[in-house]
Amino acid sequence: MNMIHENNKNTKEKRDFTELEERLRAGREAYQKIPVPEGMEERVRKAAERTGKLHGFRIPAAVAAAVAVLIILPNTGADMAYAMGNIPVVGRLFQAVTFRDYQYESDRFNADVEVPQIVVEDVKKPDQESEESSQKLQETIEQVNFDIDAVTNQLIEEFKESAELGESYGGLEIHHEIVTDNEQYFTLKLSIYQAAGSGTESYKLYTIDKRSGRQVHLGDLFLENSGYNELMSENIRNQMRTLMAEDEMNMYWVDNTDIPEWNWEGIKEDQNFYFDDEGNIVIVFDEYEVAPGYMGAQEFVVEREVFGELLK
């Protein structure tokens, strides 16, 4: 007999953060009352289309799931579970908050899904902060959270459909972590594992510029016509070549003369990335994006000295 359990995580007791917990709870209630911003459905549709190219989503269902979550969340009564990160010095505390989780277990299908949202807590506003950047940050957080809902809810719906059919085997895991939280940038990483016979790993990374309040894609970081993509792509290709020379079991889609169309074409403007603690850029690839499936998902560190002069 199938057992479906959809529950909310309990907030861990943290004596030193009692006051912060209360403010976060208030933030959650405020978030639930936020109406869908004008034009947001169209932006989510486009975001879902971009994601659908990778995962094969049915786009209308993605938009419907994203809109439905605004109705679902206020009724969950979720106690917020928060992951404490490094407190930034620019005046705000960014948190990844689990508003809802979904679990499913049967003989053939299993799911363990966290649905996170980003919450920003004002600690001390710097004098130089503009009202415009504050408003833009609020809009960006709403848009990112809305996109997260669209992605996670669409994956859940597709998993449910497969589980109801009961054919073959299937699994779904979605977890999140904060991979960057420094003075300028905050990046939330969604790790997605889908199993249908075999498994695949993919990622969604959301990077926010704390100073401008805008979501940042890789191409936004660099000067126009800087040639950053060719430079960084060749750096990664050289890393791949080194790894293949070190171990014959390592294989990447590079330098294939027999089937050149298999070769990786290079990083894209919206390539998944994040900054590490040293200010290097870590390029994140989904499984099958740059290598055969047995290699799994891949990450390559491009050191700051390679691209530093090309930054805006």
CATH number at residue 242: 3.90.640.20
Domain count, the chain: 2
pLDDT attached to residue 241: 98
Does 275 lie in the same domain as 159? no
Of the three residues 160, 189, 216, the one that is the final residue of a domain is: 216
Residues 33 and 153 in one domain: yes
CA–chain centroid gap for 212, Å, is 20
Domain boundary (216, 243, 268) is at 216
- How would residue 46 be classed by pLDDT, with cut points 50, 70 and 90? very low
- Residue 148 lies in domain: 3-216
Structure-token match 């993919």, residue found: 202
258 and 156 in one domain? no
pLDDT-derived band at 67, boundaries 50, 70, 90: very low
pLDDT per position as a tens digit, 246-279: 999 999 999 998 889 989 999 998 999 999 999 9
Taking each helix axis as running N to C, give the angle between helix 40-55 and helix 131-165, from 0 to 180 degrees, rounded to the nearest 10: 50
**Which residue in this structure is represented by tokens 């200010």?**
279
Same domain, 189 and 116: yes
Residue where a domain terminates, one of 160, 194, 216: 216
State how far Cα 255 lies from the chain centre.
Answer: 30
- β-strand 170-181 against 109-122: which pairing, if any? parallel
Checking if the pLDDT of 33 tops 80, the result is no
> Are residues 7 and 61 located together in one domain of the fold?
yes
The structure tokens 């659908």 sit at 52
Q: Are residues 14 and 152 in the same domain?
A: yes
Task: Tell me which of 253 and 167 has the higher pLDDT.
Answer: 253
Specify whether 193 is located in the same domain as 120.
yes
Q: Indicate which CATH number applies to the domain containing 48.
A: 3.30.565.40
